Chain A
Amino acid sequence: EAQVTQNPRYLITVTGKKLTVTCSQNMNHEYMSWYRQDPGLGLRQIYYSMNVEVTDKGDVPEGYKVSRKEKRNFPLILESPSPNQTSLYFCASKMGQTHSGANVLTFGAGSRLTVL
């Protein structure tokens, strides 16, 4: 089944404890992206990647890191989480390059992160 898989789905952590949210897709998509969803703000892009070893900042990149060493994986790293990073996180992927603006994003199931 074609899908985007995120782990963990739920996580409660404490301020300053590094964590990684993994994201993997099995559709051979070039483009991958991370969004965070907060009440009243919709979804905002954190980082995106056009292809392996190509990443760039979205609208709200502060406090996050990403890497794209393999096409299928795009982990989100919080080096020193803070309470304002408590949110619902979504990883997404789509075919890139040609007609990429038209291509539909496939989303993971979401990861709910709470930072105490």
Chain B
Amino acid sequence: AQKVTQAQTEISVVEKEDVTLDCVYETRDTTYYLFWYKQPPSGELVFLIRRNSFDEQNEISGRYSWNFQKSTSSFNFTITASQVVDSAVYFCALSDIRQGAQKLVFGQGTRLTINP
């Protein structure tokens, strides 16, 4: 069975600090996709990134970067020079690649608070 674990329930940092959100996953599939979603205080779920299991290159988008390591089944998310607007709950999720894939399995979420 697929499982995603976000061990950090809550993180609180001061603005401009760097922060890393951990995500560890379990799957028996050899091919799969990993996702990160952001849920700001307004409540909607915002897609941030998708990464397939064949591509272990790290990705950077502005202040955001993602580190995918298949050897440790981890897909960590780092925010550099954090800002108050980054305060949100962040979810890591896993999906298989087979046709007709039925669901996205989510982690428990990490609540990130950036203090001014």
Contacts and interface: CB of A to CB of B under 8 A. Distances in A.
Interaction A to B: yes
Nearest to B37: A107
Given A56-B102, A58-B103, A104-B50, A43 B97 contact: no
A105 interface: yes
A48 interface: yes
Interface residues of B, number: 27
Nearest to B31: A101
A33 B103 contact: yes
Contacts of B47: 104-106
A42 B102 contact: no
Given A100-B99, A101-B98, A110-B45, 13 more contacts: A40-B9, A42-B6, A43-B91, A97-B100, A98-B99, A99-B97, A99-B99, A100-B100, A101-B97, A101-B101, A104-B47, A109-B44, A110-B44
